[in-house]
Structure 1
Amino acid sequence: MAIPEAERQRVRARAAVREPVRGRIPRRRLLRVASVACGIQFGWALQLSLLTPYVQELGIPHAWASVIWLCGPLSGFLVQPLVGHMSDRSTSRFGRRRPFILAGATAIIIAVLVIGFSADIGWLFGDRGGTKKRAVVAFVIGFWLLDVANNMTQGPCRALLADLTGKDHRRTRVANAYFSLFMAVGNVLGFATGAFSNWYKIFPFTVTSSCNVNCANLKSAFILDIVFIAITTYVSISAANELPLNSNNGSAPEERLEQSSHAEEAFLWELFGTFRYLTGPIWVILLVTSLTWIGWFPFLLFDTDWMGREIYRGKPNEGQSYHVGVRMGSFGLMLNSLVLGITSVLMEKLCRKLGAGVVWGISNILMSFCFVSMLILSYIVSNMDFEPDDLPPNGVVIAALIVFAILGIPLAITYSVPYALISTRIESLGLGQGLSMGVLNLAIVVPQVVVSVGSGPLDQLFGGGNSPSLAVAAVAAFASGLVAILAIPRSRSDKSGSHH
């Protein structure tokens, strides 16, 4: 659907303030700016590997564990687009994006302190044995704040990279690949931290009357996360060198008047109003993104829990098999992140040669095959005859680790390609990059809400394992791969490898 020129100007004025013209940003500066993803993802890795098992240790049943994750997509639905929109308009003397990145990082630090010390907080307010209700309340508050803070930080980070690369589409892909690479590094460090079982010996003060060894390991890991997020945030915002926006840096008088007249319009109306201008290829990208995340979210929710329950045949708070499996799952996710990092380095060349849509589609079909492999492994182990406290056969564990590692390939594509595609194709609408990331984020969070609400009860309906959710994930991933290959057109920058 073509956009009338007058309406195009109106949308551009409402949604964005134009940044001053700048020279080409050196790659080394893009690398430093993208480094904040390392700190953010360090915390995400701990969250993904440790918190679903930990919340069950606090006494929340498996069927309800996924509901705790509901805040992630809900906060992403509102917080990331809103923060992106506000950062598009920001005239702070420190720049558009950096104040939001700093505020988000500060909120992450507060959140992980609350999560790490939730058992101690519960004990302080009267928890004694059984389900630790007060600790659960503290944990949920910290967990939800962490999700809000993550969403508050990631959107401006992506938008900042898009600001710095401008209309150089090839460099936009490079910047997103750097971002994905640092996410991989953060994942490796975070999952390695989660897999290590002796942090309580290095930080003995973390063991308290209310916090056992497993709890102390989690607490220690989040203390390390605080140090890491502080360092990477400083490196990133000190390298960005944003120029503040003001009335003299590029907006025409009539555009500034239009911006002012619409400053008080409702944000969500503005966000959803942009949908009527989206072209067919953009809708295809949003569809593939939604199906992709229906595939990813069950795995991200239950990856280490699947290893502990279905490969090691353990249960939370019953023996050590479950905890050994969770740590092995964290090790598998570390391998996953190593593969993710290697893929990130090669991604720009792959997209230039094959086209971003084809690369995305092939990776999603590979993801589907991996989920089917996990289902097969679950079935094999369920038919084996060994005691609950016995370790599973080495061959099964190795096969599970290989599957986790291979999944690093499609995860690298998911963390990079959709953002590059939406950034370049939505540019003609005149949207600010922050709001553009918010539009894409809606396609991510809606399926996450569905999975968060439905996966726990679905798994419980079929016996309490994770296989039903993984089966749905496999189907969604395969469908998204086919749509990406068949329906995402190849751009001129893909074909030529040049920018325009």
Structure 2
Amino acid sequence: MGGNIGQLGSRTYESLADDEPLDPEEPPKRPTGNLIMHSMAMLGREFCYAVEAAYVTPVLLSVGLPKSLYSMVWLLSPILGFLLQPVVGSASDHCRARWGRRRPYILTLVIMMLLGMTLYLNGDAVVAALIADPRRRLIWAITITMIGVVLFDFAADFIDGPIKAYLFDVCSYEDKERGLHYHALFTGFGGTLGYLLGAIDWAHLELGRVLGTEFQTRKAMTMKSLLRELVNMPPHYRCLCISHLFGWTAFLSNMLFFTDFMGQIVYHGDPYAAHNSTEFLIYERGVEVGCWGLCINSMFSSLYSYFQKSLVSYIGLKGLYFMGYLLFGLGTGFIGLFPNVYSTLALCTSFGVMSSTLYTVPFNLIAKYHREEQEEKRQQAPGGSLDGSERGQGLDCAVLTCMVQLAQILVGGALGFLVNKAGSVIVVITASVVAMIGCCFVALFVRYVD
């Protein structure tokens, strides 16, 4: 797919499927329908991600996972992703498959996501049906659920890089901006649908009664050259990665434990109580309300992303970046200080601002950096032509996405211990502090291109 036609250097772009632009010519303008179809991948990914964010902590606690093992669950997949993401990003830059450079990776990761989701949502039920001994059943239920979480989390984090690189490969600069805004919009839609599933009390709906309830009562890049590429990354790329790390550390600190925070801190429930006890039912109610809060986050993320393009003309990317971190830091700070149901739900709108910011602004800056580098090389090259030696967009997107895995490593390594010692309230306080530090960093150190 996507071979050269006619003279060397000429190319025909027919659809978003042609994801191998090997020459430096600007791709043609893409129809809105193509950009929307591409963004549907983000809708599906975020739908699954929302289900995970809402359910994973309650599911792990309900199957009997000790709090001391929190860290292991949240550390395994980000460590794997952090090590492998740049390698796969570079490999996709040089892939020559008939399907294109990015799509084989996207399809593989989608299959891994579905398998992982199936395991962590249904693993305990399958084990209960197959194993009679209570002790063995507990061990296997925890093991299968953990495997599902690790597999899903790895694939869901990993897939963002190839999807963004796919967009950058086949779109002009203007379409890249439009595509990223559509990504943020459909990310919000997907998250809304996912959190809505957890927010509805299905046991009291006719459909829930029918389905039943869960409880009774170019050349291959070597590793050496890849590491050299990462170490020698231009300073403005490195600063962007650090700011992205601050943002995702703050965001994940809050999102991964938010439903548990609602169940234990706001509603004063107990996830370790017997499943038919009042304490556990109160905890479940808190988790459901937490899902409504995350649903508000996703809906506001979509709404905010719709107005982002208008806002950027007034306050620029720097203003958008700064405002996203600032509002999130203030919102999570007030939630931690005043854990009231209604104020917490209202302040969930600040999560949506942060979510939309993280999914658009850093990648917009990557696109601007690449465009600036191409213009500089075009001016310096004889005849105004490029030699195709510019930085790989897949690698840069992968390195930026690596910050998500690194953030998970930090969150898993530190917060698992802190939650065990101080309770779930520590997560929103941590999120607020890290977001405010990131707010200062994006204002002072990130380079913005006009």
Using the size of structure 1 for normalisation, the TM-score is: 0.76
Checking the alignment, whether the CA contact within 8 Å between 2:71 and 2:417 is kept in structure 1 is: no
Q: Which amino acid aligns with 1:287?
A: I
Distance 2:225 2:126 in 1: 41
Instruction: Sort the Cα spacing of 1:366 and 1:127 in 2 relative to 1 into closer, same or farther, 3 A.
Output: farther
Aligned residue number for residue 187 of structure 2: 183
Q: Which residue pairs with 1:161 in the alignment?
A: 167
Q: 1:431 to 1:18 in 2, by over 3 A?
A: farther
Q: Distance in 1 between matches of 2:125 and 2:421?
A: 34
- 1:354 aligns with 315
2:284 aligned partner, one-letter code? H
Alignment deviations for residues 150-186 of structure 1 (CA, whole Å, 9 cap, x no partner): 23432211111111224x1x43222111111111000
**2:199 match:** 195
Partner of 2:282: 321
Whole-angstrom CA distance in 1 between matches of 2:427 and 2:297? 20
Pair 1:373-2:334 in alignment: yes
**In structure 2, C-alpha distance between the alignment counterparts of 1:159 and 1:299, rounded to whole Å:** 28
Does the CA-based 8 Å contact 1:101-1:152 persist in structure 2?
Answer: no
Match of 2:149 in 1: 143
Amino acid at match of 1:413: T
Question: Using the alignment, how far apart are the partners of 1:153 and 1:442 within structure 2?
Answer: 11
Any unmatched runs of 5+ in structure 1?
A: 1-15, 215-258, 379-395, 493-500
User: 2:343 maps to what in 1?
Assistant: 399
Q: Which deviates further from its counterpart, 355-364 or 60-69? A: 60-69
1:83 matched to 2:88? The reply is yes
Supply the distance in 2 between the matched residues of 1:424 and 1:179 (Cα, whole angstroms). 17
SS in 2 for 1:430: coil
Alignment of structure 1 residues 231-242 onto 2, 5 Å: none
Q: Please tell me whether residue 476 in structure 1 is matched to residue 437 in structure 2.
A: no
1:127–1:40 CA distance, 2 compared to 1 (3 A) = farther
Distance 1:423 1:306, change over 3 A: same
Mapped partners of 2:390, 2:228: distance in 1: 13
Find out whether 1:297 has 2:279 as its counterpart: no
The residue type paired with residue 40 of structure 1 is: R
Given that 1:121 and 1:138 are in contact with CA atoms closer than 8 Å, whether structure 2 keeps it comes out as: no
What is the distance in 1 between the residues matched to 2:248 and 2:150?
20
Alignment of 1:57-136 (within 5 A): 57-126=62-131, 128-129=133-134, 132-136=138-142
Aligned to 2:3: none
Structure 2 residue runs of 5 or longer lacking an equivalent are 1-18, 374-388
Counterpart CA distance in 2 for 1:206 and 1:127 is 25
Given residue 304 of structure 1, which amino acid in structure 2 is its aligned partner? Answer: T
Aligned twin of 1:244: none
1:146 corresponds to which letter in structure 2?
A: F
Aligned to 1:457, which of 399, 417, 425? 417
Shift of 1:35: 1.0
Q: Distance in 2 between matches of 1:488 and 1:373?
A: 27
Note the 1:17-36 alignment, pairs <5 A. Answer: 19-20=22-23, 21=25, 22-36=27-41
Aligned partners of 1:482, 1:315: CA distance in 2, in Å?
38
Cα distance in structure 1, aligned partners of 2:271 and 2:299: 28
Q: Does 1:171 align with 2:175?
A: yes
Q: Give the TM-score of the pair, scaled to structure 2.
A: 0.84
Q: Distance in 1 between matches of 2:366 and 2:238?
A: 10
- For residues 59 and 432 of structure 2, the distance between their equivalents in structure 1, rounded to whole angstroms, comes to 26
Q: Secondary structure in 2 aligned to 1:92? A: coil
Decide whether the 8 Å contact of 1:358 with 1:484 is kept in 2.
no
Helix, strand or coil at the partner of 1:139 = helix
Q: Is the 8 A contact 1:63 1:459 kept in 2?
A: no
Report the aligned-residue RMSD. Answer: 2.4
Structure 1 pair 79/419, CA: closer, same or farther in 2 (3 Å)? Answer: same
Structure 1 window deviating more from structure 2 (181-190 vs 346-355): it is 346-355
Structure 2 CA distance for aligned equivalents of residues 298 and 66 of structure 1: 13
Q: Which residue does 1:496 correspond to in 2?
A: none
On the 8 A contact 2:113/2:155 being kept in 1, the answer is yes
Q: Count residues with an aligned counterpart.
A: 406
| Structure 1 residues 204 and 89, CA gap change in structure 2 (3 angstroms) | farther
| Counterpart residue number, 1:287 | 242
Tell me the residue number matched to 1:3: none
**8 Å Cα contact 2:67/2:416 also seen in 1:** yes
- CA drift of 1:203 comes to 6.2
Residue 227 (structure 2) pairs with residue 272 (structure 1)? yes
Fraction of identical pairs, as percent: 24
SS of the residue corresponding to residue 187 of structure 2 reads helix
